[in-house]
Amino acid sequence: MIERPESPRRGGHWYLLTGLLIGLALGLVYAWKISPVRYVDTDPAALRADFKDQYRLTIASAYLATGNLARAQARLALLQESDPLQAINDQAQRWLGQGKPAQEREALLALASALRQSQPAAVSSPSLPNEPSLPAQPGATDSLTPSASGRASSAQTPSPSATPTRTRLPPASPTPRPTHTPTPTPGAPFRLSSHQTICDPALPEGLLQIEVRDGSGKAIAGVEIVITWQGGEEHFFTGLKPEMGNGYADYQMTPGVLYALRLLPASTLVTDLSAPSCNDQGTEYWGGLRLIFEQR
């Protein structure tokens, strides 16, 4: 009997491909499941959405405490959002709906208001876009500030701390102080300057629209409005719908219910507000109201 030597031709070289595929599968299982890449030095932009909300709130609260808008802007930049102002407004709106504490919403709105008012200045200042965002170097505006960390960071993150050397920061970097931020006349009362009935079938029934302006006619965001009715009270703010204007706020009235409304800290008290009855070619429907307040 003749013993035939093992011949590669019998099975071809498929066994090599089979081995390669098995190995590839094992490697991927190990790399993706058993021991995936672990991120331990992440940046705030990678945070989950709810953590970003918390981070944003802390930025706003710190801004409220210090009035340092430049630092707040640098911190917001770490979240790498296309429109930080919109993100803050959205969060304030969501938190209003979720019944979060009023002081948290106020902090967000205060920062939103300051950002909105600072926007024209930021655009006109040639130095601001080139300034490093330095939340990791909080003393940046004071003097020489070493970098926070020399560790490698992800390449796409323009981290201020990536350079392990001392960096002289622009000495003339403007750090706007809170007193520089234009604000409406503090404490001046709001006066009701217009009270209109709106009969527009295109609008939601019973819509109460409010606009708040300062003495020069400029819309004011972040003004707290208190509306009360028998057995209830609700607080809301202007500026939460920036697409309608910074000083705009609205409220959905229930037809047949009488409301009273005032602005904080002080305004004329508007009473007996209710959804008016309107008629459009014989069709009855509930209209809305439009109130305009001006500061004196």
Partner 1 sequence: MWRWIGFLLAVAAGIGLGLLYGWVISPVQYTDTAPDTLRADYRADYVLMVAEIYHHEHDPSLAAQRLAFLGSEAPSRIAAEGLDFALQHGYAPADVAMLQELAWALLTWQPAAGGVP
Which residues of the shown chain bind partner 1 in the complex (CB under 8 A)?
6, 8, 11, 15-32, 36-37, 39-44, 46-49, 51, 54-55, 58-59, 61-62, 64-66, 75, 78, 135-149, 151, 153, 159, 161
d(CA 58, CA 56): 5
Terminal alpha carbon distance of the chain: 116
Least distance to partner 1, CB of residue 26, Å: 5
Least distance to partner 1, CB of residue 188, Å: 25
Burial of 147: CB neighbours in 10 Å, binned 0-12, 13-18, 19+: middle
d(CA 28, CA 31): 5
**Is the CB of 46 or the CB of 269 nearer to partner 1?**
46
**Is the CB of 163 or the CB of 268 nearer to partner 1?**
163
Element at 167 (helix H, strand E): none
**Is the CB of 51 or the CB of 123 nearer to partner 1?**
51
Closest CA to 75 of 107, 122, 43: 43
Least distance to partner 1, CB of residue 68, Å: 8
Least distance to partner 1, CB of residue 136, Å: 4
Burial of 210: CB neighbours in 10 Å, binned 0-12, 13-18, 19+: buried
Q: Which two tokens stand for residue 2?
A: 């003749």
**Is the CB of 115 or the CB of 291 nearer to partner 1?**
115
d(CA 89, CA 224): 15
Least distance to partner 1, CB of residue 110, Å: 13
**Is the CB of 97 or the CB of 166 nearer to partner 1?**
166
Least distance to partner 1, CB of residue 37, Å: 4
Element at 197 (helix H, strand E): strand 190-198
Burial of 52: CB neighbours in 10 Å, binned 0-12, 13-18, 19+: middle
d(CA 276, CA 261): 16
**β-bridge partners, 208:** 251, 289
Inter-residue contact 76 to 89 (CB < 8 Å): no
Element at 234 (helix H, strand E): strand 232-237
**Is the CB of 160 or the CB of 247 nearer to partner 1?**
160
**Is the CB of 51 or the CB of 265 nearer to partner 1?**
51
Least distance to partner 1, CB of residue 57, Å: 9
**Is the CB of 79 or the CB of 122 nearer to partner 1?**
79
Least distance to partner 1, CB of residue 65, Å: 4
Amino acid at 153: S
